Copies of this chain bind each other. A is one copy, B any other.
Amino acid sequence: MSVPEQMVPASYVVLGLVRIGASSGYQIKRAAELSVRFFWALSPTQIYTELKRLEAAGLIRGRDDPRGDRQRRTYQITVDGERALRDWLLSQAEPTVEWRDEGLLKLFFADVLEPADALGAIRAIRTRSDRLKRRFDETIEPAGKTLEARGEHRFPWITARFGNDFHTWVSDWCARLEAELDNEHDN
């Protein structure tokens, strides 16, 4: 207990998902897929190693909880874990952000291309956001809404709305730029 342990944001994702009800590694994997994966991706490998580290640090407590002959280990957050989660949530340092977008990279270098192909670079970003927006409409927002309707948590839905609104905004921004450049070409 009170083992300091180096915590990275991914640690808090796993800790937080255990806190709000995902008890096994597999459940965390599925919950992440329906929620945080668009602004913090987690691989199964990472989830299982993080669970072991959190348990060693005393922030979660695990027990073997098989379903028939199928092995399973479930976890719950400890008092130390609650405190660690709150401390992180309340920490005043500017939250880190990292964005790696091949689409914007291609847009940046689009001067190298013919005008028609440069337009393709914009369209690629728009198409991608349209696809991702559909994911938010069809699965991520409904999942958040269900939680909210059950009176459990509201911020998962709010965050899903952010993702949805963001992709709508990107799509519109691209459409406006395409129209602008199209117009030039016609003159």
Write the nearest CB–CB distance from A56 to chain B, whole angstroms: 22
Q: Indicate if the CB atoms of B90 and A113 lie closer than 8 Å.
A: yes
With a cutoff of 8 Å between Cβ atoms, the chain B residues found around residue A113 in the complex are 86, 89-90
Instruction: Determine whether A102 belongs to the interface, using a CB cutoff of 8 Å to chain B.
Output: yes
Contact of A124 among B95, B106, B156 (CB under 8 A): B95
Task: State the CA gap A156–B101 with chains docked (Å).
Answer: 15
Q: Indicate if the CB atoms of B159 and A97 lie closer than 8 Å.
A: no
Segment touching B, from A32-40, A47-55, A64-72: A32-40
Task: State the CA gap A124–B96 with chains docked (Å).
Answer: 11
Instruction: Determine whether A22 belongs to the interface, using a CB cutoff of 8 Å to chain B.
Output: no
Q: Indicate if the CB atoms of A104 and B162 lie closer than 8 Å.
A: yes
Q: Number of A residues contacting the other chain (C-beta, 8 Å)?
A: 59
Q: Indicate if the CB atoms of A155 and B39 lie closer than 8 Å.
A: no
Once A85-B112, A97-B128, A100-B39 are accepted as A-B contacts, the answer to whether A105 and B169 lie under 8 Å apart by CB is: no
Contact of A117 among B19, B89, B166 (CB under 8 A): B89
With a cutoff of 8 Å between Cβ atoms, the chain B residues found around residue A39 in the complex are 99-101, 104-105, 108
Task: State the CA gap A86–B131 with chains docked (Å).
Answer: 25
Chain A, range 126-169, C-beta contacts under 8 Å to B: 127-128, 131, 152-156, 158-159, 162, 165-166, 169
Q: Indicate if the CB atoms of B173 and A107 lie closer than 8 Å.
A: no
Q: Indicate if the CB atoms of A112 and B19 lie closer than 8 Å.
A: yes
Instruction: Determine whether A9 belongs to the interface, using a CB cutoff of 8 Å to chain B.
Output: yes
Instruction: Determine whether A121 belongs to the interface, using a CB cutoff of 8 Å to chain B.
Output: yes
Task: State the CA gap A101–B94 with chains docked (Å).
Answer: 11
Contact of A108 among B107, B117, B124, B155 (CB under 8 A): B155
